[in-house]
């Protein structure tokens, strides 16, 4: 039996939540490059949590919208 926060899905969900919060803090502070990296990390963590069936029986991960910024 697994203990608290030991399953892959639980850890991914927790990581996604934390990185989204850090993303918002960085964006508000104007740390856009760091915010972008955190946004990518949150999207990567979220993709392990959400898997939807497709009509042909295959699985399809959630689509994540990422922001691109230029310096």
Q: In this predicted model, what pLDDT tens digit does every residue of 3-56 receive, in sequence order? A: 666 788 888 899 999 999 999 999 999 999 999 999 999 999 988 655 445 455
Residue 10: the pLDDT is 87
Q: What is the pLDDT of residue 38?
A: 96
Residue, of 59 and 19, whose pLDDT is higher: 19
pLDDT score, position 64 = 42
The number of beta carbons lying within 10 Å of the beta carbon of residue 23 is 22
Whole-number pLDDT of residue 18:
95
| pLDDT value of residue 70 | 42
Contact 64, 46 (CB under 8 A): yes
- Whole-number Cα distances in Å, 34 to 26, 42, 63: 7, 12, 22
């Amino acid at each position: 039996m697994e203990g608290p926060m030991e399953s892959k899905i639980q850890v991914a969900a927790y990581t996604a939540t934390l990185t989204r919060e850090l993303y918002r803090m960085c964006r508000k502070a104007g740390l856009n490059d760091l915010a972008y990296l955190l946004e990518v990390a949150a999207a990567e963590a979220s993709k392990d949590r959400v898997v939807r069936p497709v009509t042909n029986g295959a699985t399809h991960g959630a689509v994540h919208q990422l922001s691109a910024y230029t310096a």
